[in-house]
Amino acid sequence: MAEYAAGRTPIPCVACNRVLKFDLLLRRAEALGACGVATGHYARIAPAPDGDPGLFRPRDLAKDQTYFLFDVPRAALERIAFPLGELDKSAVRALARELGLATAEKPESQGICFVPDGDVRGALARLRPESPRVAGPIATREGEVLGEHSGAAGFTPGQRHGLGLSGGPWYVAEVRSAENTLVVARAAEMYASVAPIDGVSWQDGAPPAGPVRAAVRYRHRTVSARVRPEGDGRATLCFDEPVWAPAPGQAAVVYDAADRRVLGGGWIAAAG
């Protein structure tokens, strides 16, 4: 919630995987004498070009969850199993029915687990009632005030709904939490050719030197890109074609040029 209040767009599923599932849970498994942990993520672990385990997209690309796993340490892959990685979702449901599992017909989960209705701003009000929701301006990058919001926290770059502006469509281009201002722009202004990222982690221990594919949102089409290392855990992604509204706090995930293996990534540090 602190990230939302700061005007960023966090993605807690990544931290949940890295810290809870594939750190604390792995340690617990070791303490119990288990050989590892198996989860229901749609991803695959297979030999990488160097022969060690690598993280790859699953067979069912429509359910691909590798975006949320980009910073799981490579050393942990030896003790992780993803049994669903070679199955389509329809086959998984068929197996569940055959086994009489109550989850066989369970609806697809969507969004953040602790914000099931997708109302981030409502969740902020419930979980952080002490946080002020103060009205502020909605303005263009040139400073023209177009309207007023009831609290900037919870808005994200690329968002269109909830602005209440005439003469649209307008999109959130930037959330300036310190100024309590939403900056909006037209669609043509929302694309970015570069994205600075920090907190980077690379499966091979170093940033990839050649062409890669990169995604700045879950389930968004990857684009061809190159990684420009900046030092101190930072890098810049340079896209061959502009991407829509990179949002500070979201993950930028890097795949190999074949768009199959996860090479790593980082956290978008600034709006494009």
Annotated active-site residue in 13, 16, 35, 238: 16
Burial 218-233 (b: 16+ CB within 10 A, else e): beeebbebbbeeeeee
Residue among 214, 250, 263 nearest 112 (CA):
250
Average the pLDDT over 105-119 and give the result.
67
Considering only residues 55 and 134, tell me which one the structure prediction assigns the higher pLDDT: 55
CA–CA separation, 156 vs 182, rounded Å? Answer: 9
Average the pLDDT over 20-31 and give the result.
94
Burial 173-189 (b: 16+ CB within 10 A, else e): bbbebeebbbbbbeeee
Looking at every residue in the chain, the average pLDDT score rounds to 89
Model pLDDT, residue 122: 65
Residue 95 scores a pLDDT above 60: yes
Average the pLDDT over 19-37 and give the result.
94
Model pLDDT, residue 204: 95
Model pLDDT, residue 227: 98
pLDDT (tens digit per residue) in 148-199 = 998 887 788 999 988 989 988 999 999 988 888 999 999 999 999 999 999 9
Phi and psi of 146, rounded to 5°?
-105, -20
Model pLDDT, residue 271: 72
CA–CA separation, 198 vs 236, rounded Å? Answer: 9
pLDDT class of 209 with cuts at 50, 70, 90: very high
CA–CA separation, 55 vs 74, rounded Å? Answer: 8
pLDDT (tens digit per residue) in 115-149 = 655 666 666 666 665 565 788 999 999 999 999 99
Percent of the chain at pLDDT above 90? Answer: 71
Architecture of domain 191-268 in this structure: Beta Barrel (2.40)
Same fold, 2-105 and 191-268: no
Average the pLDDT over 217-240 and give the result.
95
Residue among 37, 42, 39 nearest 55 (CA):
42
pLDDT (tens digit per residue) in 2-17 = 666 666 677 888 988 9
CATH code linked to domain 2-105: 3.40.50.620
Beta bridge partners of 145: 139
Q: Are 234 and 200 in contact (CB under 8 A)?
A: yes
CATH 3.30.460 fits 133-189, yes or no: no
- Catalytic annotation on 238? no
- Give domain limits for the chain: 2-105, 133-189, 191-268
> Tokens 């994200």 — which residue?
156
Model pLDDT, residue 5: 63
